[in-house]
Amino acid sequence: MGGWAIAVHGGAGVDPNLPQDRQEEAKQLLTRCLNLGISALRSSLPAIDVVELIVRELESDPLFNSGRGSALTENGTVEMEASIMDGPDRRCGAVSGITTVKNPISLARLVMEKSPHSYLAFSGAQEFAKQQGVEMADNNYFITEDNVGMLKLAKEANSIMFDYRIPICGSEPCSAVVESPIQMNGLPISVYAPETVGCVVVDSQGRCAAATSTGGLMNKMTGRIGDSPLIGAGTYACDLCGVSCTGEGEAIIRGTLARDVAALMEYKGLNLQEAVDYVIKKRLDHGKAGLIAVSSNGEVAYGFNSVGMFRGFATEDGSMEVGIWE
Amino acid sequence: MGWAIALHGGAGDIPRSLPLERREPRKAALRHCLQIGVDALNSHRSPLDVVELVVRELENNPHFNAGVGSVLTSNGTVEMEACIMDGNTKRCGAVSGLSTVKNAISLARLVMEKTPHIYLGFDGAEAFAREQGIETVDSSHFITPENIERLKQAKEANRVQIDYTQPIKKVGDKIPVPDGDSQIGTVGCVAVDGLGNLATATSTGGLVNKMVGRIGDTPIIGAGTYANNLCAVSATGRGEAIIRGTVARDVAALMEYKGLSLNDAATYVVEGAPSGTTGLIAVSAKGEVTMPFNTTGMFRACASEDGYTEVGIWPGELRE
- pLDDT, residue A15, reads 85
Neighbours of A77 (CB within 10 A): 14
- pLDDT, residue B184, reads 66
User: Any CB–CB contact under 8 A between A130 and chain B?
Assistant: no
Q: Which residues contact B170 (CB under 8 A, 6 or more apart)?
A: none
B100 marked ligand binding residue: no
Instruction: Tell me what ipTM this predicted complex has.
Output: 0.91
Mean pLDDT, chain B, as a whole number? Answer: 91
Asked whether the beta carbons of B63 and B201 are under 8 A apart, the reply is no
Binding-site positions of A read 224-227, 246-249
Active site residues of B: 186
pLDDT at B317 over 80: no
A contact test, residue of B84, B130, B165, B166 with most A CBs within 10 A: B166
Pairwise CA distance, residues B257 & A267, whole Å? 6
Q: What is the distance between the terminal CA atoms of chain B, rounded to a whole angstrom?
A: 22
Binding-site positions of A for substrate read 224-227, 246-249
- pLDDT, residue A118, reads 97
Domains and CATH numbers, chain B: 4-312 (3.60.20.30)
Contacts of B124 in chain A (CB under 8 A): 221-224
Pairwise CA distance, residues A196 & A12, whole Å? 8
Contacts of A253 in chain B (CB under 8 A): 92, 118-119, 221-222
- pLDDT, residue A157, reads 79
Residue A256 falls in the annotated catalytic set: no
Start-end of H helices in chain A = 20-42, 47-60, 104-114, 122-132, 145-160, 172-179, 189-192, 249-254, 257-268, 272-282
- pLDDT, residue A171, reads 38
Catalytic residue among A99, A100, A196, A315: A196
| Percent of chain B clearing pLDDT 70 (strictly above) | 91
Gap from A318 CA to chain B (nearest CA, Å): 33
Contacts of B90 in chain A (CB under 8 A): 254-255, 285
Residues 81-100 of A with CB under 8 A from B: 89-92, 94, 96-97
Chain A, chain B: beta-carbon pairs less than 8 Å apart: 162
pLDDT at B175 over 50: no
B contact test, residue of A225, A227, A266 with most B CBs within 10 A: A225
User: Any CB–CB contact under 8 A between A41 and chain B?
Assistant: no
Closest residue in A to B171 (Cα) is A116
User: Any CB–CB contact under 8 A between A122 and chain B?
Assistant: yes
Helix axes B104-114, B47-60, angle to 10 degrees: 150
Nearest to A259 among B91, B122, B246 (CB): B246
B26 marked ligand binding residue: no
- pLDDT, residue B158, reads 74
- pLDDT, residue A195, reads 66
User: What are the tens digits of pLDDT across the range B267-301?
Assistant: 999 999 999 999 999 999 999 999 999 999 999 99
Pairwise CA distance, residues A35 & B303, whole Å? 59
Gap from B39 CA to chain A (nearest CA, Å): 30
Pairwise CA distance, residues B63 & B70, whole Å? 9
> Which carries the bigger pLDDT value, residue B181 or residue A270?
A270
B49 marked ligand binding residue: no
Across B191-201, average pLDDT: 97
Report pTM.
Answer: 0.92
User: Any CB–CB contact under 8 A between A233 and chain B?
Assistant: yes
Q: Which amino acid is at B34?
A: L
> Which carries the bigger pLDDT value, residue B205 or residue A189?
B205
Contacts of A128 in chain B (CB under 8 A): 211, 213
Please judge whether B122 and A97 are an interchain contact, meaning their C-beta atoms are less than 8 angstroms apart.
Answer: yes
Contacts of A221 in chain B (CB under 8 A): 115, 117, 120, 124, 128
Where is A12: in which H helix or E strand? Answer: strand A5-12
Please judge whether A250 and B166 are an interchain contact, meaning their C-beta atoms are less than 8 angstroms apart.
Answer: no
- pLDDT, residue A189, reads 67
Closest residue in A to B160 (Cα) is A116
User: What are the tens digits of pLDDT across the range B236-249?
Assistant: 999 999 999 999 99
> Which carries the bigger pLDDT value, residue B311 or residue A1?
B311
Closest residue in B to A222 (Cα) is B124
Please judge whether A91 and B244 are an interchain contact, meaning their C-beta atoms are less than 8 angstroms apart.
Answer: yes
User: Any CB–CB contact under 8 A between A263 and chain B?
Assistant: yes
Nearest to B124 among A221, A231, A264 (CB): A221
Q: What is the torsion angle, in degrees rounded to the nearest 10, for the CA atoms of residue B285, residue B286, residue B291 and residue B292?
A: -100
Nearest to A119 among B122, B162, B215 (CB): B215
Please judge whether B257 and A96 are an interchain contact, meaning their C-beta atoms are less than 8 angstroms apart.
Answer: no
Q: Which residues contact B290 (CB under 8 A, 6 or more apart)?
A: B6, B262, B263, B266, B267, B281, B282, B283
Gap from A322 CA to chain B (nearest CA, Å): 31
Q: Transcribe B247-271 into DSSP letters.
A: HHHHHHHHHHHH---HHHHHHHHHH
Show the low-confidence residues of chain A (pLDDT under 70).
Answer: 1, 159-181, 187, 189-195
Please judge whether B244 and A90 are an interchain contact, meaning their C-beta atoms are less than 8 angstroms apart.
Answer: yes
Please judge whether B119 and A231 are an interchain contact, meaning their C-beta atoms are less than 8 angstroms apart.
Answer: no
CA angle centred on A241, ends A260 and A13, rounded to 5°: 60
Residues 186-205 of A with CB under 8 A from B: 186
User: What are the tens digits of pLDDT across the range B52-90?
Assistant: 999 999 999 999 999 999 999 999 999 999 999 999 999
Pairwise CA distance, residues B218 & A118, whole Å? 13
Instruction: Place B40 in a pLDDT band, splitting at 50, 70 and 90.
Output: very high
Please judge whether B165 and A89 are an interchain contact, meaning their C-beta atoms are less than 8 angstroms apart.
Answer: yes
B31 marked ligand binding residue: no
Please judge whether B246 and A185 are an interchain contact, meaning their C-beta atoms are less than 8 angstroms apart.
Answer: no
Gap from B310 CA to chain A (nearest CA, Å): 31
User: Any CB–CB contact under 8 A between A119 and chain B?
Assistant: yes
Pairwise CA distance, residues A163 & A174, whole Å? 9
